[in-house]
Chain A
Amino acid sequence: MKPRQQRMLAVGLSLSGLIIAAILTFKAFEENMMFFITITDVVENNKAPIDREFRVGGLVVSDSITRETGSLTMSFILTDNRNQLTVNYTGVLPDLFREGQGVVAIGKLNQNVFIADTILAKHDENYMPPEVIDSLKDHVAETKEGY
């Protein structure tokens, strides 16, 4: 092979490699994109994706935390001040999980119960996850329009 052909071959090979890598990367991107969906959208508008994880956020309703004694599985109600969603979770909770606190849950919806595999609460008293703030804000905006 002449040097010119060699170079063409090298360029061609790396280019096709790059294209395959790019396609795989973007496909993985699609698959790993996780939507944040407000509780109202889940409950009223059936916007929850099926068989795919998503995030919900809201405030933990007072007195809604229940668990069987000795069991790692617990459940609580999450609210965006308009609708409520029951969340089931098995595992160790983050330190700042408590009633009235804003949390984000990641998981899937199963017959109107949200099965969370991760619960996030930030390590800061005054912190509210921005997603939760936005979903509470949305609701405020709606009620104001309603007047």
Chain B
Amino acid sequence: MFPEIGHFALILALVVSLCQGSASLYGAAKQNKDLITLSRPLAHTQSLFVLIAFACLVYSFVSDDFSVLYVASNSQLALPLLFKVSAVWGAHEGSLLLWVLILSTWTTLVCLFSKNLPDIFSSRVIGVLGFLNFGFILFTLFTSNPFERIFPSPLDGNDLNPLLQDIGLAIHPPILYVGYVGFAVAYAFAISAMLSEKLDKNWAKWTRPWTTAAWLFLTIGIALGSWWAYYELGWGGWWFWDPVENASFMPWLIGTALIHSLAVTEKRGVFISWTLLLSVSAFSLSLLGTFLVRSGILISVHAFATDPERGLFILIFLISVIGGALLLYAKKASDLDKKVGFGALSRETFLLLNNVLLVIATILILLGTLAPLVLEVFNMGKISIGAPWFEIAMLVPMIPLLILVTMGMHSLWIKDSSFNLYKKLRSPLGIATLVGIVIPTFYYGRSGLLLLIGSTISIWIIISSLLSLRSSWKNNQGRFHINRSVAGMSIAHLGLGVFVFGVTIVSSFGVETDRGFSLGDQISVAGYEYKLNSIESIKGPNYEAIEADISVFDGSELISHLRPQKRTYLVQKSPMTEAAILAKWNKDLFVALGDSLGNDSWSIRIQYKPMVRWIWLGCLIMALGGLIAISDKRYRR
């Protein structure tokens, strides 16, 4: 019963979204008041139907309705309740429905918080979002219907992929999608702006909080994915430059560029056409990422089960959404750029450089991601581009970018003097150089050019961000006033500094090693002693496991017992490594159990990861900065 209701609700949502799109856009074009007033109710109706459809699918999972093929393929009776819910987006069909739900939710929010914008403008935005959702719902219904029944229905399901039975991956996709899909709002605002008769910088002010919101979710989503890959895949890295990871990193880079160029456009009215192009590109890269992941066109360990028909649909959708927007841009953008002067040394210049460098970084990643595909298409052999290339290539734009961060933060709009800037930045730089050399050389006992550059720059960024944060507080006749835009910007940059520091230390001093242990063996890795005490079998709700007990000693002091497991999930019979991690603020000790080597000896992977937590902590601080910036009062008027 419920699956049919859900299916029907989704069909209704499809019809309503088409009405929403055409009524709003046509109404705005003809300046027809009646149609324009229809746009919000239609959008809400559409969202309601999508919500019903999604709720029905969740209900089917929670109630173990294995007569639904998708439920039977991705759940089972013994699955814990939390994972029954997260299994809803555990595979292609359901995750697409989640995507639709999130787009509807963004649409609803836009409807609610855009009442002070001109009617015609907001109506266009709602119309564009309606058409986007129409495309996605159509895709869901025709190629990936999650409500399909199976007869006769199985008594038990096939279980969720064991890799996904983890809290990190339960929440990672929704948050990542909120980010991806959020750029659809920026896209819709840009389209609406380009369709306007008169395009001015007001548009930048309206779209800014939405863009920042999407960006902050994308930041958290990517950080969660990285964290999950770190502890669950057991490979001990935090970023692998896998095509799927790159697919999420490219929109993030462009989104970051967009946030910065929006700041200039709003404040100074320059770069309007460039900002429009970035708005369109951020969402285009999100879609491209989806296409690459779901069409199976690229080789990745994270890719979904693939289906060429789906790929073709997404490709056509991609061409209409991106191609249409770029065509509109080509026609409209030429008469936008006003001549507004600014000095060679000014905040405008730094933000422009920021944009150039971020776009270079994106292009490099795009190049590395697509190169294997291009070579194969032209029959020039099968290649892959390894992580080392990305690591080297990223240094090219990133080092100058990081150096410019502090200068950009502390320079003035329109025109600044080099003396003024030097005065503000010399003491932070002095302290940063000192600390940046002392910490690696004396605390960790090694130095090197890249290492010193990395630690100095990151500390420089941290100190200047704190100074800038301090300047956002004004004590106005006994009343405390905080400029939240400045505070948010400073905190986001503080997060960047923390992130870079973590990356620098962990990549220079991290240790990874595979060792063979016999029972009772004690082995020393990076200054810590590991002793294998026992190996025993245990039983979980839907898996069996062997668990090792390993004592960790710092010198002669016992600091922890780590219990890594090797699980075998009963239904899919698939093995899974569950690493055990001793996480401290300044280091991780990571132990994963490998295979039996015979004769009571086992292979065990041991890693020492100093400052690795700072990587994700930095991302969270960046997102927090975004949150504070959105809460600035001027967006609520």
Contacts and interface: CB of A to CB of B under 8 A. Distances in A.
The short answer to whether A and B are in direct contact, CB under 8 Å, is yes
Interface residues of B, number: 45
B592 interface: yes
Interface in B374-427: 381-386, 388-389, 392-393, 396
Contact of A92 (B385, B514, B601): B514
A123 B514 contact: no
B382 A95 contact: no
Nearest to B593: A92
A27 to B, nearest CB: 9
Nearest to B567: A95
B598 interface: yes
A47 to B, nearest CB: 10
Residue in A25, A71, A91, A126 with the greatest tally of chain B CB atoms within 10 Å: A25
Contact of A70 (B396, B518, B577): B518
Contact of A69 (B305, B396, B592, B599): B599
Interface stretch (B35-43, B171-179, B436-444, B568-576): B568-576
Residue in B233, B389, B514 with the greatest tally of chain A CB atoms within 10 Å: B389
Contact of B576 (A6, A92, A95): A95
A122 B393 CA distance: 27
Contacts of B597: 67, 69-72
Interface string B142-166: 0000000000000000000111000
Contacts of B601: 69-70
A92 B393 contact: no
B575 A35 contact: no
Contact of A36 (B383, B388, B396): B383
A129 B302 CA distance: 11
B605 interface: yes
Interface in A90-147: 90-93, 95-96, 120, 122-126, 129-131, 134
Contacts of A1: none
B168 interface: no
A41 to B, nearest CB: 10
A37 B589 CA distance: 37
B88 interface: no
Interface string B301-340: 1000100000000000000000000000000000000000
Contacts of B572: 125
B430 interface: no
Interface string A60-81: 0000000101111000000000
B135 interface: no
A129 B296 CA distance: 11
B598 A33 contact: no
A32 to B, nearest CB: 4
Nearest to B164: A123
B384 A34 contact: yes
Interface in A2-57: 6-7, 10, 21, 24-25, 28-29, 31-36, 55
Residue in B162, B572, B574, B597 with the greatest tally of chain A CB atoms within 10 Å: B597
Residue in A36, A69, A123, A126 with the greatest tally of chain B CB atoms within 10 Å: A123
Contact of B594 (A6, A55, A70, A93): A93
Nearest to A92: B594
Contacts of B381: 35-36
A32 B594 contact: no
Contact of B301 (A7, A69, A122): A122
Interface in B565-609: 572-577, 592, 594-595, 597-599, 601, 603-605
Contacts of B163: 123
Interface string B198-240: 0000000000000000000000000000000000011000000
A131 B577 contact: no
A114 B161 CA distance: 32
A32 B344 contact: no
B448 interface: no
Nearest to A21: B396
A68 to B, nearest CB: 8
B366 interface: no
B392 A25 contact: yes
B603 A25 contact: no
Nearest to A120: B301
A71 to B, nearest CB: 6
Given A21-B396, A33-B385, A70-B518, A129 B299 contact: yes
B590 to A, nearest CB: 12
A57 B514 CA distance: 23
A131 B299 contact: yes
Contact of A96 (B234, B382, B392, B574): B574
A21 B398 CA distance: 12
A36 B516 CA distance: 31
Contacts of A131: 299, 382
B263 interface: no
B364 interface: yes
Contacts of A7: 344
Interface string B499-539: 00000000000000011101000000000000000000000
Residue in A10, A95, A134 with the greatest tally of chain B CB atoms within 10 Å: A95
B386 A96 contact: no
B575 A95 contact: yes
Given A72-B514, A125-B572, A131-B299, A34 B386 contact: yes
B384 A95 contact: no
Contacts of A95: 234, 574-577
Contacts of A24: 392, 396
Contacts of B599: 69-70
A21 B594 CA distance: 42
A28 B393 contact: yes
Contacts of A10: 344
A90 B516 CA distance: 10
Nearest to A95: B575
A24 B399 CA distance: 15
Interface of B: 161-163, 233-234, 296, 299, 301, 305, 344, 364, 367-368, 371, 381-386, 388-389, 392-393, 396, 514-516, 518, 572-577, 592, 594-595, 597-599, 601, 603-605
Given A25-B364, A92-B234, A126-B305, 6 more contacts: A34-B384, A36-B383, A70-B597, A71-B516, A92-B604, A95-B576
Interface of A: 6-7, 10, 21, 24-25, 28-29, 31-36, 55, 67, 69-72, 90-93, 95-96, 120, 122-126, 129-131, 134
22 contacts: A7-B344, A21-B396, A24-B392, A29-B368, A32-B392, A33-B384, A33-B385, A34-B383, A34-B384, A35-B381, A36-B384, A55-B384, A69-B597, A69-B598, A69-B599, A69-B601, A71-B516, A92-B605, A123-B163, A125-B573, A125-B574, A134-B382
